Structure 1
Amino acid sequence: MKQGPKSFDWNQARAFLATAEEGSLSGAARKLGQRQPTLSRQVSGLETDLGVMLFERIGRRLELTQAGLEVLKHFKAMGAAANLAALAATGQSQDIEGQVIITTTDVMATYHLPRVLRLLKAQAPGVTINIVTSNEVHDLLHREADISIRHVRPDQPDLVCRKIGELSAQFYASREYLQSHGQPVAAADMAQADIIGFGGAEPMLSALKARGLPLTEKNFKYSCANGTAYLAMVREGLGIGVFESETAIQMPDLVPVLPELDPMPIPVWLVTHRELHTSRRIRVVFDLLAENLL
């Protein structure tokens, strides 16, 4: 008797997609929270079912074969559809309980979010919060986060975003630094200052030179891409930094430098996926952040 086609195994598809994205079975296993032997069996099972080799080993990495590349096109579309289905299902939840993942910068998570989370704890004690700190833009569609706090407006059509205000950034330095190097009283004095770069010298150098400050790469003795570490370097007296006044006000050891200069506006956007915005627990957190974060 002839057997019908074998039913589709979504676990095999997930294992294949994760391995293709991570380039190794170990990386895919970590991403999916599985044991590597289990994931390896799923990938091998998919190759057997399809009758093709999907990966070949190049050094320590697994590279897709031509057949694997063709399969990947179809499975990516299936994965996107599955993500949308999961989003729709989550969006229908009306229970004010469960986890909400918020992604934001380390400075926002350290100096601004805790106050709002205390309000949330009182208003919705059944909601649990997982904070993911990163300066990278997380993919809400793939459920890396439910709500993102960003400084740039996203352009994806499936996202709901609300600008909740602006932060004001300016120069700050420690009292120790100013005692050792002198207090700049005019923009020209900054030519001799030590500036701490955020994420490297070039991005800040271009922006500050456009504001008429006589700076060069020689002014940037240190740089850092981590916000809390950046603040610690400024407080340690390593140089002058640029960050939000709303954060600096919590640090009485810091002094404004050239406060007469126009502050640099930093917009703050709250973002979630259109489907998630219908979830009662996510909506509660979203609205509470919008009303109280700034």
Structure 2
Amino acid sequence: MNWDAISFDWNQVRAFMATADEGSLSAAARVLGQTQPTVGRQVARLEDTLGIALFERIGRGLVLTPSGRAVLEHVHKMADAAVNISLVAAGQTQAIEGKVRITASDVFAAYILPPMLQHLRDIAPRLEVDILAANDIRDIQRREADIAIRHVRPAQPELYARLVDEAEAYLYAATSYLKRRGHPKTKADLSQHDFVNFGSSDEMIGYLAPLGIKVTKQNFHLGSNSGVVAWEYVQRGLGIAFMSANVGDTAPGVERLLPDMDPVVFPVWLITHRDLHTSPRIRLIFDTLAGFLSRPPEK
């Protein structure tokens, strides 16, 4: 191994990772307990060391460059590995016990989390994990849950949030539905099809309109406030709906529609209280979740 190739300063990496996760130098400085100029210098030195620009300034904010996003993915893995090494060295994974409450949407809880939960069971068998499958936002501040998986970044400074994925969603329908109603070829064709709504039809119409999909209440004859129930209706051939690609692409008997259509991209944030993030039990699950949700889905 060429050890010279990895001889950068870990403090610089921490400054970069905190700036990327928090969205600004000032926020990163608060998290790290340092001054903003110090964090800025550490990020600049890492850029010099790597010979690439990690951020570009847009107005008053910092936005990751493509190179910065690639580096961030790797340094998150390094941070997760460092935590796992320290846990193993201390013999803590087998000793960590107690209940941890995770809240996520019912779709996430039912279709995406099970492999991670099995892995967690393997490495920390004495943990008790309680999944709160809810589409509403549980209040981490009131400790209704210890960890939340959400699609909106929290504004409260006492919450710690990490962007772990930018997931993609597409339109799907069951093969049985398409055999009965035909394959839509364009967005305009969708106006002649049935949709399954997640929530209210008015909300779905307002959501679809900016995407160039013109539908009315006549297109919505069935729906549910439960994402799992609504997706089951799609799989049973009762209509069309958007679904995350890592769920829809693996569902048997379901086809992705309009493959040339741009996906709907939505962020996946992992959130916990800053005090809880220092707990070995919460940190283990948080970092395990982060690593699991950040990796590409298996084909």
Normalization by structure 2: what TM-score? 0.65
2:144 — aligned with what?
Answer: 144
2:277 — aligned with what?
Answer: 277
SS of 2:180's equivalent? Answer: helix
* Separation of aligned partners in 2, 1:149 and 1:212: 29
1:186 — aligned with what?
Answer: 186
1:131-210 counterparts in 2 under 5 A? 131-210=131-210
Q: Report how far residue 198 of structure 1 moved.
A: 1.0
Q: Report how far residue 267 of structure 1 moved.
A: 1.0
1:256 aligns with 2:256: yes
Divergent runs of 4+, >6 A: none
* Separation of aligned partners in 2, 1:114 and 1:213: 33
* Separation of aligned partners in 2, 1:111 and 1:293: 13
1:114 — aligned with what?
Answer: 114
Matching residue's letter, 1:170? Y
Larger Rg: 1 or 2?
A: 1
Q: Report how far residue 250 of structure 1 moved.
A: 2.4
Q: Which range moved further: 208-217 or 263-272?
A: 208-217
Matching residue's letter, 1:151? H
SS of 1:141's equivalent? Answer: helix
Contact 2:249-2:255 at 8 Å conserved across structures: no
1:241 — aligned with what?
Answer: 241
* Separation of aligned partners in 1, 2:126 and 2:252: 36
* Separation of aligned partners in 2, 1:240 and 1:175: 11
Deviation per residue, 1:195-250 (Å, 9 max, x gap) = 11111111221121111112122111112110110111101111111111110122
1:127 — aligned with what?
Answer: 127
* Separation of aligned partners in 1, 2:292 and 2:107: 16
Q: Report how far residue 126 of structure 1 moved.
A: 2.0
1:102 aligns with 2:112: no
Gaps of 5+ in 2: 1-91, 295-299
Contact 2:163-2:268 at 8 Å conserved across structures: yes
Normalization by structure 1: what TM-score? 0.66
Gaps of 5+ in 1: 1-93
Q: Report how far residue 262 of structure 1 moved.
A: 0.4
1:69-88 counterparts in 2 under 5 A? none
* Separation of aligned partners in 2, 1:268 and 1:229: 22
Identity %, equivalent residues: 42
Deviation per residue, 1:246-271 (Å, 9 max, x gap) = 10122121011112110001211100
* Separation of aligned partners in 2, 1:106 and 1:250: 17
* Separation of aligned partners in 1, 2:240 and 2:217: 14
Q: Report how far residue 151 of structure 1 moved.
A: 1.1
Contact 2:249-2:256 at 8 Å conserved across structures: no
- Aligned residues between the structures: 201
Q: Which range moved further: 119-128 or 278-287?
A: 119-128
* Separation of aligned partners in 2, 1:166 and 1:160: 18
* Separation of aligned partners in 2, 1:258 and 1:197: 19
Matching residue's letter, 1:133? A
Matching residue's letter, 1:275? D
SS of 1:213's equivalent? Answer: coil
Contact 2:174-2:254 at 8 Å conserved across structures: yes
SS of 1:258's equivalent? Answer: coil
SS of 1:145's equivalent? Answer: coil
SS of 1:238's equivalent? Answer: coil
* Separation of aligned partners in 1, 2:259 and 2:200: 24
Highest RCO, 1 vs 2 (Cα 8 Å, sep ≥ 6): 1
1:224 — aligned with what?
Answer: 224
* Separation of aligned partners in 2, 1:213 and 1:241: 12
Deviation per residue, 1:80-128 (Å, 9 max, x gap) = xxxxxxxxxxxxxx86211111011111111111100111112122211
Deviation per residue, 1:38-84 (Å, 9 max, x gap) = xxxxxxxxxxxxxxxxxxxxxxxxxxxxxxxxxxxxxxxxxxxxxxx
* Separation of aligned partners in 2, 1:265 and 1:113: 20
* Separation of aligned partners in 2, 1:224 and 1:202: 13
Q: For the aligned residues, what is the CA RMSD? A: 1.3
* Separation of aligned partners in 1, 2:223 and 2:156: 31
Matching residue's letter, 1:274? R
